[in-house]
Every structure is written in structure tokens, then in C-alpha cells.
């Protein structure tokens, strides 16, 4: 079957591995990448002439079907199918970007914490495979799987603990939790409420709303005070918006009545992130300015990048935080701690302490999981 054959990935190719590509997020994300990444190639300033999507899933039949379906789309982006039967190694070998939507989805009444034990095991196994098969000095790893607040610490600490070759690779600067959906929701909901209030937005414009902290409930801090969008929100409207952004995932889970969670909107948010990294690695841009959930200290317990040392005391020493970053091909190069300094009194005095308190518990949960896991052999 032509679609299941892994093509030779040459030096002039950029390879993106999607782990969990047959799932609700994975299928939609793979479709967006297959359909749209061709436009990044047209702008490329480097010698890369081809983009390849390596699609992996534990469900062999499903991933073969998804890959065959995508392979019929008329773009020059190639695809290959991978499952445990053929080994994850072929999927990860030479990958420049690894995107992970793999895991069990959330169901009604289920919190992100309920997902933790199953998904932490999956993330640990995938982290081991990445450490064994990828160039840790170059690869970017984007974690979509929930609960992000705990699973990114699992991924980072598991690799650093169990794979000695990672210690000097800088991989901790290139493992990032994708919290873009919170930003997408904040922008969408703010625009909607402005229209409902009789304010007409500029044509084809969307608000830019920073969202920091974590990626669940009250760990999500939408900074509407820093939005560039004209707004005359009263206190009730602001409280409504904050709550809706923080619990937007519950809204989708309830609407799907037990048959799924936020897959389409998450795939859209994930695509917006992946395309930035593709553009960076193709040389179309020199750096990324975006918000991701990252460790604030490196493998040697030093601040991950300039700005992290200023941010740490502002977030009471929380080891991981979603914050606007500058990212180069080597990973996080600057942490925009001043975003926290620009918070208004309500955000700083009411929202931030609650966020940090809960976030620390989430982080500790991930670190404790890794500490209790046997060392890989």
C-alpha cells in the first residue's frame, strides 16, 4: 500500500511526527497540516524543499485509514503511516517537530486530573521513544495531551532523569505545552461580547488577549486588561468572560454529550502553533513570539533563559508556567516576565495566587509520577 510506505527523509526535508494522529485532535490537525503547509514552503529561505508528515497511532487500522485518506489530498506534503507493529522508531527518526495529541480524551464529569494516571504513562513512554530516536539537541516537542499542567513536567523530568544523553542537549528548552486554545477562546469570546454590546469590531480583526499561567480551570489567567481590542466591559461581563475562558473545555464536553471533547478547536490552535515552528525551521522567520507552558529552570536548575529569573519570584517559584516567550531554533531564548508586571490589581492579587497554588500541585503531581517510575533500561 503506497500510503503506508515510509519515504526516505532526505536532508532537504522537514519531518513532523504526529503521535496520536488517528484521534479526534490528531486527524483534524493532520488534515490542516497536509492542506496548508505547502504555503510555508513557498516562502522558504533555506534549502528545505519538502515537508513530510509521519503519522503514528496505536490503532493500526485507524492510522492506515487516516493516512490513506490524507494521501489523496492534492498538496505536495507527503504522509506516512506508523503503528506499534512497525515500530515508533520509523516515525520519529529524523523528526524536527514532534506533536503529541495522544491520550485518553476527557468525558463528562471527568476533570483533567482524572486523566492523569493513564495519560502520564503514555507521555512517559513517548518521551522515552523521543529520547531514543530523536536528536535531542534539535527536536521540538509540542505537548497537547491533557492535563498539560502535569504532563509537561512528566515529559521533561522523565527524559532528563532516565536518559543521560539529554543532560547537555538543551531539550528542556524545546519541550512546550500547547495552551494556545485558551488564547483562541479569549479572543473569540471577547469579540462576541463586544458585538453583543453594540461595539462593531474592525473588519476581519480579532482581539489579541494574553493568557498565562496553566491550562485548566483557575490556573488559566486571561489578561483582558492587556487586550489591544476596544472594550467597555462592565464587571459582570468581565467575570463571565474569565469564567468562560477558564472552563471553555467543559462547555464543549457538555455540548457533545459524552461523545467527545474540544477536538476541532484544539486542532486549529495546535495548527497555529505548529505552523510557527515550521516557519522558524524553514528560515522564513528568525524567532517565534508565542505563549507556551514551559519549565522555568534548566537541567542544572538555572533559569531556562533571560527573564526566567525575574519571573520565578513573581510566580512564587512555580517551576512551570505559560508565559509569552521568544523562541529560536535552539529553543526558549527569552521569557517575557513583564507580562506579569503589567497585570492589573485584580489579576495580580486575586487570580495569580489561586493560579500558582493550584499549578504547583499539578506540577508536583507530574514530578512525583516520574520519581515513582522505574528507571528505563
Going by pLDDT thresholds of 50, 70 and 90, the confidence category of residue 44 is low
Going by pLDDT thresholds of 50, 70 and 90, the confidence category of residue 36 is very high
Reply yes or no: is the peptide bond before residue 147 cis, omega within 30 of 0: yes
Give the integer Cα–Cα distance in Å for 9 and 333: 29
124-145 pLDDT, tens digit per residue, is 999 999 999 999 999 999 999 9
- 307 annotated as a binding-site residue: no
Which superfamily is assigned to 2-178 in CATH? NAD(P)-binding Rossmann-like Domain (3.40.50.720)
Mean pLDDT of 366-375: 85
Going by pLDDT thresholds of 50, 70 and 90, the confidence category of residue 202 is low
Instruction: State the pLDDT at residue 112.
Output: 62
At residue 208, does pLDDT exceed 50?
yes
Instruction: State the pLDDT at residue 41.
Output: 84
Q: Taken in order 353, 262, 280, 186, is the CA torsion positive or negative?
A: negative
Residue 215 designated active-site = yes
At residue 376, does pLDDT exceed 60?
no
Instruction: State the pLDDT at residue 115.
Output: 76
Instruction: State the pLDDT at residue 203.
Output: 63
Give the integer Cα–Cα distance in Å for 237 and 131: 46
- 345 annotated as a binding-site residue: no
State whether residue 38 is helix, strand or coil: helix
Going by pLDDT thresholds of 50, 70 and 90, the confidence category of residue 184 is very high
Of residues 46 and 320, the one with the higher pLDDT is 320
Give the integer Cα–Cα distance in Å for 349 and 276: 33
- 146 annotated as a binding-site residue: yes
- 26 annotated as a binding-site residue: yes
4-14 pLDDT, tens digit per residue, is 444 444 568 99
- 343 annotated as a binding-site residue: no
Place of cell 498539560: 148
Residue 119 corresponds to which cell in the numbers above? 495519560
- 20 annotated as a binding-site residue: yes
- 349 annotated as a binding-site residue: no
Mean pLDDT of 329-352: 97
Mean pLDDT of 25-35: 98
Instruction: State the pLDDT at residue 259.
Output: 82
- Average pLDDT along the chain: 91
Question: What are the sequence ranges of the domains in the chain?
Answer: 2-178
Q: How many angstroms separate the Cα of 377 from the Cα of each of 20, 157, 163, 202, 373?
A: 24, 16, 9, 57, 12
Going by pLDDT thresholds of 50, 70 and 90, the confidence category of residue 164 is very high
239-251 burial code (b ≥16 CB/10 A, e <16): eebbebbbbbbbe
Instruction: List the helix and strand counts (H, then E) for the chain.
Output: 14, 11
148-162 pLDDT, tens digit per residue, is 999 999 999 999 999
- 234 annotated as a binding-site residue: no
Write down the pTM of the prediction.
0.94
Q: Taken in order 206, 311, 356, 25, is the CA torsion positive or negative?
A: positive
Place of cell 481590542: 229
Mean pLDDT of 346-371: 97
Instruction: State the pLDDT at residue 2.
Output: 42
Catalytic option among 3, 52, 82, 215: 215
Range in 33-47, 189-203, 206-220, 316-330 the model is least confident about: 189-203
Give the integer Cα–Cα distance in Å for 145 and 64: 22
104-131 pLDDT, tens digit per residue, is 876 666 666 677 988 999 999 999 999 9
- 185 annotated as a binding-site residue: yes
Under 8 Å between Cβ of 96 and 140: yes
Mean pLDDT of 44-54: 83
Mean pLDDT of 227-245: 86
State whether residue 297 is helix, strand or coil: strand
Amino acid at each position: 500500500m503506497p500510503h503506508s510506505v515510509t519515504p526516505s527523509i532526505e536532508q532537504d526535508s522537514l519531518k513532523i511526527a504526529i503521535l496520536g494522529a488517528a484521534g479526534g485532535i490528531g486527524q483534524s490537525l493532520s488534515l490542516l497540516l497536509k492542506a496548508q503547509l505547502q504555503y510555508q514552503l513557498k516562502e522558504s529561505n533555506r534549502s528545505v524543499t519538502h515537508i513530510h508528515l509521519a503519522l503514528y497511532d496505536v490503532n493500526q487500522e485507524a492510522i492506515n485509514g487516516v493516512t490513506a485518506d490524507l494521501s489523496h489530498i492534492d498538496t505536495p506534503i507527503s504522509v506516512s503511516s506508523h503503528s506499534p507493529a512497525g515500530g515508533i522508531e520509523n516515525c520519529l527518526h529524523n523528526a524536527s517537530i514532534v506533536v503529541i495529541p495522544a491520550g485518553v480524551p476527557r468525558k463528562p464529569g471527568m476533570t483533567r486530573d482524572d486523566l492523569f494516571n493513564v495519560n502520564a504513562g503514555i507521555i512517559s513512554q513517548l518521551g522515552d521513544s523521543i529520547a531514543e530516536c530523536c536528536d535531542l539537541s534539535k527536536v521540538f516537542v509540542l505537548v497537547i495531551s491533557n492535563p498539560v499542567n502535569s504532563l509537561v513536567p512528566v515529559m521533561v523530568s522523565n527524559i532528563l532523569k532516565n536518559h543521560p544523553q539529554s543532560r547537555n542537549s538543551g531539550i528542556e528548552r524545546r519541550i512546550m505545552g500547547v495552551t494556545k486554545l485558551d488564547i483562541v477562546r479569549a479572543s473569540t469570546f471577547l469579540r462576541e461580547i463586544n458585538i453583543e454590546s453594540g461595539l462593531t469590531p474592525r473588519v476581519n480583526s480579532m482581539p489579541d488577549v494574553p493568557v498565562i499561567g496553566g491550562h485548566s480551570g483557575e490556573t488559566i489567567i486571561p489578561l483582558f486588561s492587556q487586550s489591544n481590542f476596544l472594550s467597555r466591559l462592565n464587571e459582570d461581563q468581565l467575570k463571565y468572560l474569565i469564567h468562560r475562558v477558564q472552563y471553555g473545555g467543559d462547555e464543549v464536553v457538555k455540548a457533545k454529550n459524552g461523545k467527545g471533547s474540544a477536538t476541532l478547536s484544539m486542532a486549529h490552535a495546535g495548527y497555529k502553533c505548529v505552523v510557527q515552528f515550521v516557519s522558524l525551521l524553514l528560515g522564513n522567520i528568525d524567532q517565534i513570539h508565542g505563549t507556551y507552558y514551559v519549565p522555568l529552570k534548566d537541567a542544572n536548575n538555572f533559569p531556562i533563559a533571560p527573564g526566567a529569573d525575574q519571573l520565578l519570584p513573581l510566580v512564587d517559584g512555580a517551576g512551570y508556567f505559560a508565559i509569552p516567550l521568544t523562541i529560536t531554533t535552539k529553543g526558549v531564548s527569552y521569557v517575557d516576565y513583564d507580562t506579569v508586571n503589567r497585570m492589573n490589581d485584580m489579576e495580580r492579587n486575586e487570580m495569580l495566587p489561586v493560579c500558582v497554588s493550584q499549578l504547583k500541585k499539578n506540577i508536583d503531581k507530574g514530578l512525583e509520577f516520574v520519581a515513582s517510575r522505574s528507571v528505563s533500561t
